[in-house]
Amino acid sequence: ATPAPPRQGSVGATGSQLQLSSGARSTMGVAELLESVHLYRKVPKDLTDATRAGGAISLATALLLAYLFFSNVSEFLTVSTTTDVTLDDSAEEHMRVYFNITMERLPCQFASVDVSDVMGTSLTNVTQHIVKFKVAADSGHRSTEYYRPRSEDIAHEEMDEQELEYFSDLPETVSVLNENTFDAVVRSYDLVLVAFGAPWCPWSQRLEPVWKKTWETVKRKPYAPFVRLGRVDCTADDARSICQKHHIHAFPTI
């Protein structure tokens, strides 16, 4: 008898099955390796038990998480303004400024420089490091340097008791200025002297009779129509903005 030839189809199928079995074993090996390092094992559902307390806790936790999420998103999207006050520690720092200004019709003794900053600090008549030169009338060129004459000590007038009592009891004749009248009075006269004070300030109280006497003296002068004296009560509701506008930091300030 002649043996039958081998069936090639069967051999090919067997080879494919062997290759698939080898690939499946490799995949299963990797899966088993991953399962072996699993730290948080899954509990079968048959071993779990649902309770009312657990459901309440789960519901409360879900609501709390939702509240925290929406509140944080709302806080992130909300624009807020925060104001902080800090002390300026640069008061001792100085900045050198060079300038050259010529004013032909202004005498040197009346030329002064005032310094103010955005914070409201103001320095009046800063002349310590400022050099002045006289300007020749014919040529207009700079001539000799101007030296301020040494000023004598100011002699303050002392009012006797009788005079002090008289002006203290004198009816108010000095204009009391407020927000509605301040600007109009300042614009109406060539020179306006304003005393900013407060009724509780002892120095303002001492100035009051002197201020009245000064006004009574000015009224008898030939330049009285061009000069006006006034006072501002910085504690009054209708005058506080004026004191803030002019940066009044001490009482009295003229």
Give the contacts of 230 (CB within 8 A, at least 6 positions apart): 174, 175, 176, 177, 185, 192, 193, 194, 195
Catalytic status, residue 108 = no
Q: How far apart are CA 254 and CA 246, in angstroms?
A: 11
Which of these is catalytic: 108, 201, 234, 243?
Answer: 201
Q: How far apart are CA 67 and CA 60, in angstroms?
A: 10
Helix (H, G, I), strand (E, B) or coil at 134: strand
- Nearest Cα neighbor of 102 from 126, 128, 136 is 136
Cβ-contact 114, 126 below 8 angstroms: yes
Residue pointed to by tokens 């201020």? 211
Q: Is the dihedral of CA 36, 42, 46, 51 positive or negative?
A: positive
- Nearest Cα neighbor of 252 from 228, 227, 234 is 234
Cβ-contact 230, 195 below 8 angstroms: yes
- Indicate which residues carry an active-site annotation: 201
